[in-house]
Each structure stands twice: as structure tokens, then as C-alpha cells.
Chain A
């Protein structure tokens, strides 16, 4: 056999279930603070408590939403259980002027951006396709077609370049974009095209891949034969693998990648190595395709527990801190339960709203025709509706 270059294992190292030697970590699953030559930084007690609070509340949103689906209040829910650190670390690394392009699972990032969790529930309840205004929090609408948003993020970043908001040195002006996607999306053409466009134009975008090991039932081995972060090199920009269950490392690495983008040094791929502890969505049954042993193994790497251990062991949280957060979570849960059930259903004629910025005569006639039809039913109270 003629040689075709270096052996894959030689070039990339063996595939390792624990993330391998390249995994950037600042806080071990046991709650031990470890140091990294490139990404270390000091975290204040307040920051650490903030991460803990964010993760607990995010998990509560997820738990409540899952329960609401089981009670028939949501049509479906995409759980993030286990991915709290990846999302909070990435979300808290953003500046207000940065822009987020999420998948449909970025509930933790939405939380960091100040998006009301109730508006997330609206989408899954079926009252709308996303009720938040992306411009209010620089947080785009959830994208359900896998990977499509990676291109939107890249184009948005190209717009930032054209606005002269990259590399000026002004921390309030320079902006970056973060594109969220998962391991499954890494196989999509759109994600790979986004890599190419971002590299070609040196766009200020961070590609943040939460590798949760599963694309519904398909394991990561079906998507890639090399560690995902290594893909970036082939496109001409750096890639790193971070412990996605370590909020400190995720924060530090994302912050560095965003800063790199803001200063004009171009895109970075961050692979947050994590695990989807729940089902793909509430319609999925993971017992059909994976071993509970795997889940048990990853339970030991829980993103919240390790921060709690660290805070406790180092006396960084007052005695009543954890109780206060728990009470806040209970309040949030209550608000979501009641708020979800109270979300108003759209009116039938609302479906005609906002199809176009400038409505067509054809559509106006269809709306009027359907309204007239509805009026023929006894007791009809057709309302709602004008764009």
C-alpha cells in the first residue's frame, strides 16, 4: 500500500471516552481546581456563585418544562440536562453587543441573555414559533433545521465586519457572534460551508459545538472519525476541546475565542465535550439505543455538583446560599408552571399575520374569506388578527 500521509491515530491521537489529553479543564468532576497554561484565570467567589445559580435555575427550567410536557402542557421539549455548564459558560462569556445564534436546546444561553423562559415554552407549547424579539437580547430565534444557523451567524459576523465593529480596540464596540450547534450538525453541509465562509472572510464568529455524544440515537462515531475540534484545522482556523461539564473552563475558553474574534483574528471552533443525560426530546426513548452504564458514568461528571463541592469546600458560599438558590428555583418553577398554562392561544386568523412585511392582496383576501367562513358558525366570535 502506498503511503497517504500520517496514520489517523498518529495524527489525532486515539479516540478517548473521557475527552482525551486535549480536554481543557479548570475544575475536575471531583471539584478540584486545576490549572491550564493557556486558559487559566482567577474567578471571584461572586462569579462562582453566579455560575452555580445560573446552572441550578437553568436545570430547573429544563425539569419544569419536561414535567409540563408530561402533563400535556407542551407538545414537546428538548432537554438540556447535563449540558448546563457548556451553556452557562458560553453564555456568560458574551458581551451585550455580541450576538447568539442558538439551536433549539440553548435554554441556558437564553437564560444568560435575559430571554424570558416563558417565551421558550411558547414555542414548544405551539402558541408561536418564538415570541422573543432577537434584537432585544441579541439572541436569535431557535433554529430547528439542523445547522442552518451556522451560516446565519457567519453572515451576521460579516455584517459586523462591514460595520467596522471588529478590531477597533474599543471593548464596547468590538463584537463577535457565537453559533451554537451539536455533534450531529457537524455533518451538515451548512455547518461545513459556514466554516469555509468564516475562514475565507476571517469572520468574527465562534463555532460552539456541544458534543453531547448523541444525535438522537446515533453515537458520535457515526458523525466523525476524528475528534470534532480537529476538523477546524482543515478549514484553516483553530479548534479546541473543552470539558463541557466544567463551567469555568467553558467560560474561559469561550471568552478567549470571542475575544479573538472581536480583535479581528477570525473564527474558532470550540468543542464542548459533554453528554446528553436526558432524551433527545420528550418524544425520544434512549433506552432503545444506549447503555445505562454510560449515563451512570457521566452522572459522576455532573456540572453542578462539582461547583457545589468547590464552593463548599473552600468556604465560598454562606450557609444559606444553597437554600436561597433552591427557593429561587422553586419560585421560578412555580412561575413557569402557572405562566405556561396561562399562555394565550393564538386566534385562528393570527396565522395570516406577518407572512410578509408588505401583505399581498391575495393573502388579505384569504384572511377575509376565512373570517367570513368562520362567522357563518353559530356563536362565532372571530377576532384576532390584523397585522
Chain B
């Protein structure tokens, strides 16, 4: 490891990225429930209030619409609010403000009122939580014009992507895979130059099929590729990273080579991101496809009780099963 390199978790990467953004721009504010002294229920904002003060790291009343709605006002005043929604399932009280106000403000004002706001949402399951703490609402936001939606999957991306999202003049829904917060560590070189925010990235090269994932499923996809390789199957893995806009260029390039694609997410399959990705692949890669694009995701049930969440969540085996079906088609 070079002196510039640190070994960090995703939680740490996000915390460091937020800190850097606040140091770089005095207009950056953080607001949310318990983000101050507590540092957030996942400790993503740990120590930031201590170092930047209560005016810049704001513990809010317990009202999500209030958090996002007041952040709209702050953005209109020239601030760059970064709001934390404590859990995915608690974003719905703010849904109206996000969809009707945040997403449309730049458009309806003919560009006079930009909304440089980041809405951070810890998302996804796998942590044994009670109801409403394990959801994946990304498609509902990706379906909304005016919003941009990204999902980080690893500590290094967490560090860079949060800073890039804050620097964006458009509102960004920033999805953080909560089960990865404190899971794996990675080496961060904070002197490196990051890739642009709204780009997908090929994580592993392969020739037999392309697996598309984002957020918490990236790790599963990489494990699946590893397992498949022991059986002589070569999977390409792409971390989509950005869900709106989608960066399909690398996906099309890959699928034209492999002829097969499997897209996976924790969210319900019906009208999930996978549906859009599959549609675009068949529009652009029709003659390259050797088999139908398959989707592997959560079932179309409400998120189940946590004792059986491992059956709801797509895992290594379900992903490999889909790979088999694709290759055997």
C-alpha cells in the first residue's frame, strides 16, 4: 500500500466523502434524523456535526416530507443539502416532495431554480430487520424524470460517488447498500482520479454471459462469476452504478460479445430496473442475442419476514441457476 492508500469500509468511505465535500464547499449541508450527535443510525455521518457544527449538520424533526421539503427551500437559497432518509421504507412520506417538487423544479422554472440536492437512502435487505427496513425503491425514482439515481456497491465508489453526487447540479437519489456498510474493506487511494459518476463499469471480463448488477447484488454477482469459473464458465460482470440515466454503452458492447445477459437486483422483478435494462438490450442487441435476457430479483411479494428473507433475496445459487438457463437455452 502506498502512503496515500487507506483500507476502509463502505461506511467509512461515505463518511470520508461527505467530510471532503463539506470541506470543499461551505454550502454543503447535511440534514436528517439522528445525523448529528449519533452520527446516523448507521454512523455514516459520524463526527461530522462535531467538526462542522449544528448549522451544517442538522438533526431534523422526525418527518421525512419535512426534511426533503425544507431541503428544497435551502437549495433555492443557494445551499447544497444532503439529506439522509433513515431507511428505504421511510422515504414514502417524502415521495410527494421528491417527485412533485425536487424532480420538477429545474424543469418548471426553465432552469432558473436548480435543485442540487442529494437524497441518501440506505437500501436493500439481508440484515434481519423488521418490516419497512429492507426495501429497494429505486425503480420508482428512476421512473421519475428530473431525478438522477445512482447506487454504490463498494467502499471506494462510496467515497467518490457521494462527492460527485453532491457536486452535481441535478438532484441525485443516492442508494447505499446497507448490508455492505460494515462488511468488506477496500483500499482507497484518495489521490486517484475517479470515473465520472453516471457511468457503468465492467468489473470482470468474461465471454459466456454478461451479469448486470448494482448495489448489494454486485458482490453476489462477483461470487457467482467466481463459482462459474470453477465449472469452466466465463461470466462478465458489470456494475451498473447509475440507474438513471442508465449507461448502456458498456452493456451493449458486452452483450454483443457474449450474446447472453442476466440482470439482477433485490427489488421486485415486475417493472424493476431489470425490465428496462432487458428492454434496451433487446432493442439494441437483438441479432447478437443467443438467449432471452433473464431477470433475477426479489419476488413480487412485499418484503417478507426476515427469517425467510434469504429466500426472497436473489443469491449465488439463483443467479447461477439463471446462468445455466441462459446457457442451456
B partners with A: yes
Q: Using CB atoms and an 8 Å cutoff, list the residues of chain A in contact with chain B.
A: 101, 128-131, 133-135, 140-141, 145, 148, 150-163, 177, 189-190, 193-194, 196-197, 200, 353-358, 360-363, 387
Contacts of A177 in B (CB 8 A): 73
Q: List 15 A-B contacts (CB under 8 A).
A: A129-B107, A140-B76, A151-B97, A153-B73, A155-B71, A155-B73, A156-B73, A159-B76, A161-B55, A162-B29, A193-B63, A193-B65, A355-B145, A356-B148, A357-B116
**Across-interface contacts of A148 in B (CB, < 8 A):** 69, 96-97, 100-101
| Residue contact A151 to B76, C-beta cutoff 8 Å | no
Residues facing A in B92-106 (CB within 8 A) are: 93, 96-97, 100-101, 104, 106
The complex places the Cα of A363 from the Cα of B73 at a distance, in Å, of: 27
> Of B29, B101, B198, which is within 8 A of A152 by CB?
B101
Contact in complex: B245, A134 (CB < 8 Å): no
Let me know if B193 is at the binding interface, CB within 8 A: no
Do the beta carbons of A157 and B108 come within 8 Å of each other?
Answer: no
Complex Cα gap A356–B198 (Å): 13
- Most central of B97, B100, B107, B109 by chain A CB within 10 Å: B109
Query: In the complex, which residue of chain A has the Cβ closest to the Cβ of B56?
Result: A162
Are B145 and A158 touching (Cβ within 8 A)? no
Say yes or no for B87: interface residue by CB 8 A criterion: no
B111 close to chain A: CB less than 8 A: yes
B65, B77, B96, B246, most chain A CB atoms within 10 A: B77
Evaluate contact between A141 and B113: CB separation under 8 angstroms: yes
A296 to B215, CA, bound (A): 64
Q: In the complex, what residues of B have CB within 8 A of residue A160's CB?
A: 77
Chain B residue at smallest Cβ distance from A353: B110
List B residues at the A interface (Cβ < 8 Å). Answer: 29, 55-56, 60-61, 63, 65-66, 68-79, 81, 93, 96-97, 100-101, 104, 106-114, 116, 145-146, 148, 168-170, 198, 244-246
Residues from chain B with a CB closer than 8 A to the CB of A163 are 77
The verdict on A156 contacting B76 (CB below 8 Å), with A134-B112, A356-B106 known, is yes
The 5 closest A-B pairs by CB, nearest first: A155-B73, A151-B69, A159-B77, A155-B70, A193-B66
By a CB distance below 8 angstroms, the chain A residues around B63 are 189, 193, 196-197
Q: How far is the CA of A200 from the CA of B33 in the complex (A)?
A: 14
Supply 7 further A-B pairs (C-beta < 8 A) apart from A196-B66, A197-B70, A355-B145: A151-B97, A152-B70, A153-B73, A162-B29, A162-B56, A356-B146, A361-B245
Contact B69 A152 (CB under 8 A): yes
Structural contact, A190 and B73, CB atoms closer than 8 A: no
A-B contacts at CB below 8 angstroms, number: 139
Q: Is the CB of B101 within 8 A of A134?
A: no
Asked if A358 contacts B73 (CB within 8 A), the reply is: no
Residues in B whose Cβ lies below 8 Å from that of A101: 73
B65 contacts A190, C-beta separation under 8 Å: yes
Among B65, B70, B81, B245, the most chain A Cβ lie within 10 Å of the Cβ of B70
The residues of A that contact B168 with a CB separation of less than 8 Å are: 357-358
Contact at A156–B77, with CB atoms within 8 Å? yes
Q: Are A129 and B66 in contact (CB under 8 A)?
A: no
CA gap between A129 and B113 in the complex, in Å: 13
Question: Which residues of B have CB within 8 Å of A128?
Answer: 108, 110
| A157/B170 contact (C-beta < 8 A), A141-B113, A151-B97, A196-B63 known | no
Q: Give the most central of A130, A177, A357: most B CB within 10 Å.
A: A357
Q: Measured between alpha carbons, how far is A213 from B201 in the docked complex, in Å?
A: 58
